[in-house]
Amino acid sequence: MVALNKFVKAIVFACLVAPLCWLGWQISLELQQPGSALGADPGEAIVHYLGEWSIRILLFAFSITPLRRLLKSRELARTRRMVGLFAFSYVVMHLLAYLFFYLEFDWSGMWVEILERPYITVGMSALACLLLMAVTSTRGWQRRLGRNWRLLHRLIYAAITLALIHLWWLTKDGFEDLVVYTLWFMVLLWFRWRSVSQQLH
Ligand code: HEM
């Protein structure tokens, strides 16, 4: 049982690290031969790439509970915290890439962007929800907050909703991925709503 837990965790971990390895590889190709791997604007490509993986991993974290029920897998449930922390880390890297490539770490410029660009305000709000969840994800906080811990971790609903609003706001063409992410979220909401209503009856 312990071996199976470790095996499932290792597989999930490898899947979550793989996109970063691929990005590292593309950056090294780009450094050797500019324009060969990341297109005309490598900074933009990196910001977008990290953003795409942020939303995918966030949705994956939200899928674990229904998947666990469908597959009757307790091992998968044990990966939930790790997946959540990875989602948070990807968003932080997305933010850092944006600060580096778009703003060159001009902090005052960042406050102007947060105030003036609604899609940045919404993205930062999603990040704030994830930050609260990441900080309180430890056993110690779970014990300290008791029943309120579950309530606080419902912030995942707000974080994904805000992330999707961020995406709908900034996307100008090529809406296919966005439609898939939104449908994925809606199916998960339906699944959760169905299991709550089954428990009530
Ligand atoms: C949960 C939080 C977030 C998620 C899931 C997310 C996701 C994404 C995705 C998928 C894209 C690419 C869209 C495309 O390819 O068309 C993107 C772009 C972008 N995001 Fe985020 N984001 C989040 C938070 C943030 C935050 C906190 C910031 C910065 C303060 C930010 C700034 C940007 C910027 C500047 C772009 C590129 C816009 C452009 O080039 O036109 N995002 N985001």
Question: Model confidence over 94-153: pLDDT tens digits?
Answer: 999 999 999 998 988 889 998 999 999 999 999 999 999 999 999 999 999 999 999 999
Two tokens at 18?
Answer: 């793989």
Q: Map out the domains of the chain as residue ranges.
A: 2-190
CA of residue 167 to ligand 1 center, whole Å: 7
Residue closest to 66 by CA, chosen among 198, 201, 197, 189: 189
Computed over every residue of the chain, the mean pLDDT equals 94
Q: Whose C-alpha lies nearest to ligand 1, atom 5?
A: 55
Residues with CB under 6 A from ligand 1: 44, 47-48, 51-52, 54-55, 58, 91, 94-95, 98, 102, 120, 123-124, 126-127, 159, 163, 166-167, 170-171
- Please tell me the number of Cα atoms within 13 Å of 16 on its side-chain side: 25
Chain-centroid distance, C-alpha 57: 5
CA of residue 89 to ligand 1 center, whole Å: 14
User: Stretch 156-184: mean pLDDT, rounded?
Assistant: 97
Two tokens at 22?
Answer: 């691929």
**What is the residue whose two structure tokens read 């063409």?**
173
- At 142, the amino acid letter reads Q
H-only helix segments in the chain: 2-32, 42-71, 74-77, 80-101, 107-116, 118-135, 139-145, 147-152, 155-170, 176-200
Max mean pLDDT among 74-78, 87-91, 112-116 falls in 87-91
Kindly indicate the confidence band of residue 198, based on its pLDDT and cuts at 50, 70 and 90.
Answer: confident
Q: Minimum mean pLDDT among 51-60, 78-87, 102-111, 181-190: which range? A: 102-111
Percentage of residues in the chain having pLDDT higher than 70: 100
DSSP state of 63: H
Kindly indicate the confidence band of residue 1, based on its pLDDT and cuts at 50, 70 and 90.
Answer: low
pLDDT for the residue 109: 87
pLDDT for the residue 14: 98
> Is the confidence at residue 85, as pLDDT, over 90?
yes
> Is the confidence at residue 82, as pLDDT, over 90?
yes
Report which of residues 1 and 173 the model is more confident about. Answer: 173
Q: Whose C-alpha lies nearest to ligand 1, atom 20?
A: 51
Q: Minimum mean pLDDT among 35-44, 71-80, 120-129, 192-201: which range? A: 192-201
